[in-house]
Structure 1
Amino acid sequence: MPPLMIFAAGKGTRMAPLTDTRPKPLIEVAGRTLLDRAIDMGRQAGAERIVVNTHYLGDQVRDHLAGSGIAISDEAEQLLETGGGLRKALPLLGPGPVMSLNPDVIWTGPNPLSSLRSAWDPARMDALLMLVAHDSARGRIGPGDFSLDHAGRITRKGDFVYAGCQIIKPDLLGTITEDAFSLNRLWDLMIAGGRAYGITHPGGWCDLGRPETIAMAEAMLAEDVV
């Protein structure tokens, strides 16, 4: 099972004022923090090694994780974005492919990390992204991110939204010279090489991007229970 990187370093500015005094991953939805939900998803999928990066109000995240056995990649000096953050965490994650997960998403249906693991084919793939159809992506603002071809390869623009989790080979991170950069840079290299793939999540999905999306996510969770 690949190790899991949970991205928890961002400032969460769109979630203000909820993030004025606490980091976004510690916001609660239906009585549980986003970070705890992400960790549980990783553990349920079989991830034995989990790394969480921190920057904004990072001491709160560190205190929350005390005694959990989860490693922390500290970005207190500089926010490195997703690509730079993953590269900094590699010594903690170890060699080989890595799963990554954005905690500011609520899911229903099958565990997306388990689905990725089942579909992962390292002989063909350098990245496998979990996608959701744009018209079923709750809380989403803006257009879709990707299209899928008949073989499951992704290209830019289309009717699918990146859902916030993936399996990715980190090898090409060393080719990027900037300290702080988005994983989009890595995806573009893999798309150009025909080795970036996607699968679609069949359950519910809600992006926690703004305060009003909390009620939207809680309603989705309540629907799943009924």
Structure 2
Amino acid sequence: MPQDVNAIMVFAAGFGTRMGELTRAQPKPLIRVNDAALLDHALDLADAAGIGRIVVNTHYLADQIVRHLGTRPDIALSHEADEILETGGGLKQALPLLGRGPVLTLNSDAVWTGQNPLIQLLQAWDPAEMDALLLLLPAPLTRGHRGTGDFVMDQAGRIRRAGGQPGLTYLGAQILKTDGLSAIPDRVFSLNRLWDQAIAEGRAFGLVHNGLWCDVGHPGGIAEAEQMLAEADG
């Protein structure tokens, strides 16, 4: 397993508006699935993959996440106090905590079955060929998620935008080279800008997840995720 990727950004700053009343008084990453917070499901993956440096970003009801992580002094926090910086701006702000080199990123609003997605990414990462490696799943296999897919992939694993045709859904886990962030002057922006650059240069790749995935971005996703986990345990 390549050792040049040893830092992860866990995104946990969003408002969780699709959760309705469930996030009126608590941040989405602390919603529980199978008696564990979504954030803990994500951190368990990072711990099991042996990631040495973990950074979590915060904004909405950040004090609750700070208290929740009080027993984890090994986790660094990147506070987006004034405004949510989106994925690109949030990652750019966190770079001093993450260090140099490629990083893993992981959304905290999903659960997984099958192979640890972070280990799967690390095993497939090839920095000589790749600037981005995104974990994907055919759209019909996703749980708790709508849409026909975000990307299509060729036989070599290179990806491009699906453009409305059936394709593969991005699962919120990736390895990404961060060099290009310094060239973006904006404070608030999406990582789509780095993806589009990597796609244009033929250096954006996809990897199909060896397992299932459920988006827990809306109330119905909680039951769907718990059902998926029960099926995997059975």
- Taking structure 1 as the reference length, the TM-score comes to 0.98
Q: Which runs of 5+ in 2 are unaligned?
A: none
Match of residue 187, structure 2, among 174, 179, 187: 179
Find the residue that maps to 2:219 and give its secondary structure. coil
State the shift of 1:67 in Å.
3.1
Measure how far apart 1:143 and its partner are: 2.5
Within a 5 Å distance, the mapping from 1:10-159 to structure 2 comes to 10-68=14-72, 69-157=74-162, 158-159=166-167
- Residue 224 of structure 1 aligns with an amino acid whose one-letter code is A
Provide the rounded CA distance (Å) in 2 between the counterparts of 1:171 and 1:67.
32
Give me the whole-angstrom Cα distance separating, in 2, the residues matched to 1:155 and 1:54: 31
Q: Output the CA distance in 2 between the equivalents of 1:28 and 1:163.
A: 19
Shift of 1:70: 0.4
Matched residues, number: 226
Q: CA deviation at 1:202?
A: 2.1
Displaced runs of 4+ in structure 1, greater than 2 A?
none
- Rounded to whole Å, the distance in 2 between the matches of 1:218 and 1:118 is 28
Secondary structure of 1:17's match? helix
User: What secondary structure does 2:21 align onto?
Assistant: coil
Unpaired stretches in structure 1, ≥5 consecutive residues: none
Contact kept? 2:139, 2:147, Cα under 8 Å = no
Q: Deviations over 1:139-179 (max 9, x none)?
A: 11122100000100000014100011000000001121211
Q: Is 1:6 paired with 2:14?
A: no
Q: 2:204 aligns with which of 196, 203, 206?
A: 196
Matches within 5 A, 1:157-168: 157=162, 158-168=166-176
Mapped partners of 1:10, 1:39: distance in 2: 17
* Identity, % of aligned positions: 57
Q: Look up the equivalent residue of 1:13 and give its one-letter code.
A: T
The CA deviation string for residues 185-223 of structure 1, in whole angstroms up to 9 with x for no partner, is 110011001000010012111111210110010000000
With the length of structure 2 as denominator, give the TM-score of the two structures: 0.95
Deviations 1:75-122 (A, max 9, x none): 011210000000000000000000000011110000000000000000
